[in-house]
Amino acid sequence: MPNFHRVVITGIGAVTPIGNNIDEYLVGLQTGTNGVSNITLFNPEQHPCKFAAEVKNLQSENFIEPKESKRWDRFSQFGVIAAKQAFKDSGLEITEDNASRIGVIIGSGVGGLLTMESQAQILSHKGPKRVSPFTVPMMIPNMATGLAAIALGAKGPSSSVSTACAAGSNAIGDSFRLLQLGKADVMICGGAEASITPLGVAGFASAKALSFRNESPQTASRPFDAERDGFVIGEGSGILVLETLENAQKRNARIYAEIIGYGTTCDAHHITAPSPGGVGGAKAIKLAIEDASLSLEKVDYINAHGTSTSANDKNETSAIKSIFRDRSYLIPVSSTKSMTGHLLGGSGGIEAVACILSLTHNFIPPTINYVNPDPECDLDYVPNNAREAQVGVALSNSFGFGGHNVCLAFSKMN
């Protein structure tokens, strides 16, 4: 058996609809801040859904040169800013000696959709010669990874994951594996997304995946509530700095928590719908718990995928119940998407950060907008208000179109 390295979290960064740095995001989670409002990024007049969870008041010039930012898609800007925050938070320094042992994996479900749309319009109206030479590098989904690596000087393992709404969590899990196996000393990882665009909103609306609660946008994201009618699209990025325990101790780093388990499966069932009863998600949860060598009694909190769609919330509830049985009713389960909306490939990143903040600040974020209990969703969803609690182990679930399922397990340091 290989001698696996323990892996710890030493830096966190977040750009979200409820806060553009860790301090703001923490307050947003603790106070149940609602990040949903009418769309301002484009004119939604002709769209059946006119609201989203946008990142607002982000001072990107503090992180990216204005000239450079014009050559980066919005999702890459979010990813690099969150990565720079996390890197600074970690206290790391990259030198010629350690650069090849520091890697980057940032997942994105869609990539540079804004660039794709805008340049397609230019091609259609002005012809191929007017298409920007930066089109391809701006729109490809690996570019948040590439730009973060360039900005920080990280020359180790570098890749991108595109598993829809599981992408950010897969990026963290894959980074965890590389560190466990000693293939790197540090990994900068998470997810980034910016799909609040005319095509993004229209596409999800046509698929009947979005809420159409235009008369009351702030109540639209209501995971597990009986009157949920679809998700609210969000944007942003969450990034972690993971490193081997030995490397963190050698440089006397501040350690937030430990990542102890990773489970990933595929439903192999349908292009968008989850497998009946949440079987694939349940298997991912089981694998993460086994990977962490945890007993079921040790799990104190589950950050649910909780999208506010009828099928997801019902199936995720079934998945949790199939693993934890009677104990399911004793474990707080909340969906922070009720506050942030659904960041698609970026969601796993900010939700992993939420779990780490829960562990370090001893609270459980709420599921806001929870008003009408659903008999098929009958767990403790931490309704409407955050809860003080001693959290020793937290799980984070992420499930994506195509049947991709991920569960990550985090714990306080022992």
- Catalytic residue list contains 361: no
- Of 5, 49, 165, 407, which is the active-site residue? 165
- Active-site residue 342, yes or no? yes
Q: Which of 5, 189, 342, 377 is catalytic?
A: 342
Per-residue HEC secondary structure of the chain comes to CCCCCCEEEEEEEEEECCECCHHHHHHHHHHCCCCCEECCCCCCCCCCCCEEECCCCCCHHHCCCHHHHCCCCHHHHHHHHHHHHHHHHHCCCCCCCCHHHEEEEEECCCCCHHHHHHHHHHHHHHCHHHCCCCHHHHHCCCHHHHHHHHHHCCCCCEECCCCHHHHHHHHHHHHHHHHHCCCCCEEEEEEEEECCCHHHHHHHHHCCCECCCCCCHHHCCCCCECCCCCECEEEEEEEEEEEEHHHHHHCCCCCCEEEEEEEEEECCCCCCCCCHHHHHHHHHHHHHHHHCCCCHHHCCEEECCCCCCHHHHHHHHHHHHHHHHHHHHHCCEECCHHHHCECHHHHHHHHHHHHHHHHHHCEECCECCCCCEECCECCCCCECCCEECCCCEEEEEEEECCCEEEEEEEECCC
Q: What is the distance, to the nearest Å, from the Cα of residue 160 to the centroid of all Cα atoms in its chain?
A: 14
Instruction: Tell me how far CA of residue 21 lies from CA of 8, 14, 30, 84, 285, in angstroms.
Output: 21, 5, 14, 11, 29
* Phi, psi (deg, nearest 5) at residue 195: -115, 20
Distance CA 268, CA 287 (A): 17
For the record, the structure tokens of 304 come out as 């649910």
Q: Pick the catalytic residue: 305, 355, 404, 407? A: 305
Catalytic: 165?
yes
Instruction: Please identify every residue annotated as catalytic.
Output: 165, 305, 342
